[in-house]
Homo-oligomer: A and B are copies of this chain.
Amino acid sequence: MITPIVLGMDIGGTNADFAFIDLEGNILYKSNVPTSDFDTPNSLVQVIRKRTNEALLAMKGEFVIRAIGIGAPNGNYYRGTIEFAPNMSWKGIIPLAEYFKMAFGVPCFLTNDANAAAIGEMMYGNAKNVNDFIIITLGTGLGSGIVANGRLVYGHDGFAGELGHVIVKEGGRQCGCGRKGCLETYASVTGIKRTVVRLLEGGQYKSELEDITFNQLSGRQISKAALNGDQLAMDAFTITGDILGKALANFVAFSSPQLIVLFGGLAQAKDLIIKPTKESMERNILKIYKSKVPIVLSGLKGNEVALLGAAALAWKEMGIEAE
């Protein structure tokens, strides 16, 4: 008997991870290539095709690829394209889904990485049977995927869910998007780093973070310092959670989700970030929503969220759902 699988891919500016994944979310084969090695997207597609063909042969023809799912920054679901991704060497609008479809002869679906994570969370993670939820990725920036009525909210053009660019402070921190006060300038790994240096500037603390450069500073280090009782690091988490919680209170008024899921580098700080976020959200939320919206961590392993999400997208689009 031949088992149907999908090819799930997480394509970023640095690496392209790809894996064979079955309907239950088992990863049967996994590999990667450095994206930046390839001058053209098509040359990347050809290498992945060659590598996956070899893998299929090694697996003795017991598996067949039914579809391809891709999560990528600035991915547009409707058009199957990566559009003007700032961290990619390929410029402009790349019709990547079309390239993969041509090379493999199977349907290919593409969306941005946060949306893929949302679909993965629905199929394999903590949002099974949840029809209304929001997933927030706290990485270098802040990404988001919104599910309403059991379906991802893409918006009319595929660009819905840019919650990192909701303005939360008028005249606030400069954002890479050209505007000021965007949520991701506060609530993200980069955001908390900026908060750390703002607190250092104040000069009221004696902190172990004083010996680390901005570029060396990581979410993990700030977490470690906070767990060691470093007041500056603890305050940085409180400030970050306070701002994120206020923003979440407003998001709840939009879609009244059953659940908010966090993942990404800063979410790995667990209670350090979840506790102040939850407290601030509850303090600022409209009465009808109070104590109704849990904030939980992703149910998927950090380095598998994107791959499982891409695979879940492919299964879902084929109309096949896990039990």
Contacts and interface: CB of A to CB of B under 8 A. Distances in A.
Interface of A: 130-132, 146, 148-149, 151, 153-163, 165-167, 170, 177-179, 246, 249-251, 253-258, 284, 286-289, 292
23 contacts: A132-B156, A146-B254, A146-B255, A148-B149, A148-B151, A151-B151, A153-B255, A154-B256, A156-B256, A157-B256, A157-B258, A157-B292, A158-B256, A159-B256, A160-B255, A160-B256, A162-B256, A163-B254, A166-B253, A167-B246, A167-B250, A177-B287, A178-B287
Given A253-B162, A253-B166, A258-B156, A149 B149 contact: yes
Contact of A159 (B154, B160, B251, B288): B288
A70 to B, nearest CB: 20
Query: Is chain A's binding surface mostly helix, strand, loop or mixed?
Result: loop
A257 B154 CA distance: 9
List of 4 A-B pairs having minimum Cβ-Cβ separation, nearest first: A155-B256, A156-B258, A160-B256, A132-B156
A217 B289 CA distance: 33
Nearest to A288: B159
A165 to B, nearest CB: 5
Contacts of A160: 132, 148, 254-256
A256 B154 CA distance: 7
B255 A162 contact: no
A286 B148 CA distance: 23
A156 B131 contact: yes
